[in-house]
Structure 1
Amino acid sequence: MTGREKEILELIKKNPLISQKEIGETLNITRSSVGVHITNLIKKGYIRGRGYVMNKTDYVTVVGAANLDIQGFTKEKLIQRDSNPGEVKICLGGVGRNIAENMARLGIDTKLITATGGDANSKRLLEECNQVGIDMEHVLVLPDANASVYLAIMDVDGDMAMALSDMHIMDRMTIEFIKGKSHVLKNSEVIVVDACVPEDVIAYILHTFKDSKILLDPVSIKKSRGVKDMIGGFHTIKLNRLEAQFLSDMTIQNHDDLPKLAQYFIDEGVERVFITLGSDGVYYKDRRQGGLLASPKIKVVNATGAGDAFMAGIIHGTLYDEPTVEIAKFSTAAAILALQHQETVSPHMQADTIHKIVKEMTIC
């Protein structure tokens, strides 16, 4: 998909009844040029018929955790073993859920398969996810259980100082339950898995839907232990520095170590690898090329949801068959958008906003 086609597609997503004249005026191009791009988008299967109805057969399924986030923010240096003044914020979270919300805000048809309970937090979770456009039809609801909870304390720089997660409810997601969702997973354009899902369920998904593009977010070193021996079954993986070192049994001492480490995953069978390095940017690698993409300096408000936004950017680029380097740029910009808002998922998460950030970034 060309850049211009992408711009037109985003306009159509926002308004399926927009005229070619209105598209041309918005993008400052001729109506005839718009017609050519529309024809190409129809041929490529992104839209169909008159009225530019979006192709609803293309959707993404996320299998992962959804929980309530309790986050504490401080404006002063944290003092251990003491009461610190600050601000406490309660919102929805969970890696899988956060990724799904980011994608829904990007206009991607997204289904979430997760486990939740029958308490008030679970009801809030279901209602608010539906409100932002996530398809929650396939959630495992356990009336005798409570929603999982994630408790995090953020330091003065907006980064996580310490966290505690109660994710036991995810252990009740079984292979038998997932088998009942086979029709959903089989027809997904992309399947996304986070490592909060039980190990045997992940193994079943990799084996049963091995012809699908399955993407992994390992969540943390502890959670990623269960997928270490099956890492080559994933199409794309997104790792931070610590996760990359743990899953490869290699060490990153400097940037010169990144190509060899990323190549390890390619040799295992992974098609695309993204290793996020915080303020140092991201190292990307596929079977043809790799490189380090620097990140611009920004003021961080909340780092909690940056990785989830980055993953959503990867999924967006995978759906649109973007080159790996372009996916890295788009995902970096999505993460920047997340870092600059106190909410775990930025309410400004839109493709056109991200494209503007990409254009403004000074990166190498």
Structure 2
Amino acid sequence: MTGREKEILELIKKNPLISQKEIGNQLNITRSSVGVHITNLIKKGYIRGRGYIMNKSDYVTVIGAANMDIQGFTEEKLLENESNPGLVKICLGGVGRNISENMARLGIDTKLIAVTGGDSNSKRLINECNESGIDMEHCLILPDMNASIYLALMDENGDMAIALSDMRIADRITPEFIKSKSHVLKNSEIIVVDACLSKDVLEYILINFKDKKIMLDPVSIKKSRRVKDIIGGFHTVKLNRHEAQYLSNMEIRDEDGLERAVEYFIGKGVERVFITLGEEGVFYGEAGYCNTYKAPKMKVANATGAGDAFMAGIVYGQLYDKNIDDIAEFSTAAALLALRHHDTVNPNMSIDNINKILEEIKC
């Protein structure tokens, strides 16, 4: 590919509907010259068909939160109204971003659509996400704003005791902005969303990309209110017990309650449901089938990233056409791997290490 062809291809990647005249104006060349270069790009297989459609690759797009996490850890019982000794870590976070990094570490071509600002935290976010293999090209950058922040205090068991999130910047993702990324979403194999997005945005995605497999992580009970009326539009949902109770309007006390909840979501139109149960494993199902997968107990370093790793495992299994039992097993192993590290995303996340955990479980 020539240097000029590379320049033209980059413009087409950013805007597949750009005209030859617009390309010529931006590169200061004639429209006829642009036409010749585009013909060559088509012959070489870089683009195809009308509208300069990029040749398809199997990538997944995640739309959701990207922020900085400030986490405090202690080995002793937390005392209220008191200064507690412990360890404080600052790392990248956000449910959508965490899922994206886990997916990238599993070898999935991953694009993240998120919003961040112009401060030093935002720059760190963009740089470190790119370094971990996430395509950040389609993020919304607002230079006059700061990155969102998630502040969490963990108890002596590695579970969250209390947290505070400043996610106001997430409201700047609008249906109009998502519309500008239609070419990215239309060519995605799977779309993953978290409920940090506004209800308007979530509805826009479900309506305009309904031919895609759209997967949901509700994030929390409070955030899940945004999807309660539209839950049936998602192909796959991954929830915890509390989110499942709220969204199904059912009290879940035992396996019968879990099965009724899964049947409720399937009846609404969801194809696959995974309800994570912490130490009790995961209850999951699809039309006409439910099952439980129980994982061994282990020492927890940090529990906050387990659900994000689990969702990445679901995406991996779906991409490779795994059956629901295999997906539950693989995703649980991914979550167990996440639990072993203090960082929200375990830097050792990989297919090989997940397979090692699966071997440990079976022994």
Question: 1:231 is aligned with what amino acid?
Answer: I
Aligned residue for 2:301, secondary structure, equals: coil
**Equivalence for 2:193:** 193
Task: For 1:244 and 1:81, locate their aligned partners in 2 and report how far apart those are by CA, in whole Å.
Answer: 33
**Equivalence for 1:227:** 227
Q: CA deviation at 1:356?
A: 2.0
**Equivalence for 1:252:** 252
Task: For 1:139 and 1:100, locate their aligned partners in 2 and report how far apart those are by CA, in whole Å.
Answer: 13
| Structural mapping, 1:1-364, within 5 Å | 57-362=57-362
Compute the RMSD of aligned alpha carbons: 1.1
Deviation string 1:243-278 (CA, Å, 9 cap, x unpaired) is: 000000001112221111110000000000000000
Q: Is the 8 A contact 2:66 2:97 kept in 1?
A: yes
Question: 1:82 is aligned with what amino acid?
Answer: E
Q: CA deviation at 1:203?
A: 0.3
Task: For 2:174 and 2:68, locate their aligned partners in 1 and report how far apart those are by CA, in whole Å.
Answer: 22
Q: CA deviation at 1:357?
A: 1.2
Q: Is the 8 A contact 1:117 1:144 kept in 2?
A: yes
Aligned residue for 2:230, secondary structure, equals: helix
Task: For 1:56 and 1:347, locate their aligned partners in 2 and report how far apart those are by CA, in whole Å.
Answer: 29
Task: For 2:242 and 2:86, locate their aligned partners in 1 and report how far apart those are by CA, in whole Å.
Answer: 29
Task: For 1:311 and 1:243, locate their aligned partners in 2 and report how far apart those are by CA, in whole Å.
Answer: 15
**Equivalence for 2:28:** none
Q: Is the 8 A contact 1:158 1:303 kept in 2?
A: yes
Question: 2:155 is aligned with what amino acid?
Answer: D
Deviation string 1:302-342 (CA, Å, 9 cap, x unpaired) is: 00100000000000001011000100000000000000111
Task: For 1:64 and 1:58, locate their aligned partners in 2 and report how far apart those are by CA, in whole Å.
Answer: 20
Task: For 2:362 and 2:262, locate their aligned partners in 1 and report how far apart those are by CA, in whole Å.
Answer: 24
Task: For 1:330 and 1:61, locate their aligned partners in 2 and report how far apart those are by CA, in whole Å.
Answer: 21
Q: CA deviation at 1:362?
A: 4.5
Aligned residue for 2:196, secondary structure, equals: coil
Task: For 1:362 and 1:298, locate their aligned partners in 2 and report how far apart those are by CA, in whole Å.
Answer: 15
> Greater shift after overlay, 66-75 or 248-257?
248-257
Unaligned regions of 5+ residues in structure 1, if any? 1-54
Task: For 2:256 and 2:205, locate their aligned partners in 1 and report how far apart those are by CA, in whole Å.
Answer: 35
Aligned residue for 2:347, secondary structure, equals: coil
Q: Is the 8 A contact 1:296 1:362 kept in 2?
A: no
Q: CA deviation at 1:56?
A: 6.5
Task: For 2:151 and 2:56, locate their aligned partners in 1 and report how far apart those are by CA, in whole Å.
Answer: 37
TM-score normalised by L of structure 1: 0.84
Question: 2:347 is aligned with what amino acid?
Answer: P
TM-score normalised by L of structure 2: 0.84
Task: For 1:116 and 1:100, locate their aligned partners in 2 and report how far apart those are by CA, in whole Å.
Answer: 15
Aligned residue for 1:361, secondary structure, equals: helix
Aligned residue for 1:214, secondary structure, equals: strand
Question: 2:231 is aligned with what amino acid?
Answer: I
Question: 1:280 is aligned with what amino acid?
Answer: E
Q: Is the 8 A contact 1:100 1:111 kept in 2?
A: yes
Q: Is the 8 A contact 2:56 2:187 kept in 1?
A: no
Question: 1:325 is aligned with what amino acid?
Answer: D
Task: For 1:169 and 1:362, locate their aligned partners in 2 and report how far apart those are by CA, in whole Å.
Answer: 45
Question: 2:157 is aligned with what amino acid?
Answer: D
Q: Which has the larger radius of gyration?
A: 2
Task: For 1:202 and 1:56, locate their aligned partners in 2 and report how far apart those are by CA, in whole Å.
Answer: 25
> Greater shift after overlay, 252-261 or 242-251?
252-261
Question: 2:319 is aligned with what amino acid?
Answer: L
Unaligned regions of 5+ residues in structure 2, if any? 1-54
Q: Is the 8 A contact 1:266 1:287 kept in 2?
A: yes
Aligned residue for 1:127, secondary structure, equals: helix
Q: Is the 8 A contact 1:151 1:165 kept in 2?
A: yes
Aligned residue for 2:300, secondary structure, equals: coil
Q: Is the 8 A contact 1:92 1:125 kept in 2?
A: yes
Q: Is the 8 A contact 1:236 1:272 kept in 2?
A: yes
Q: Is the 8 A contact 1:56 1:109 kept in 2?
A: no
Task: For 1:153 and 1:200, locate their aligned partners in 2 and report how far apart those are by CA, in whole Å.
Answer: 32
Q: What count of residue pairs does the alignment treat as equivalent?
A: 309
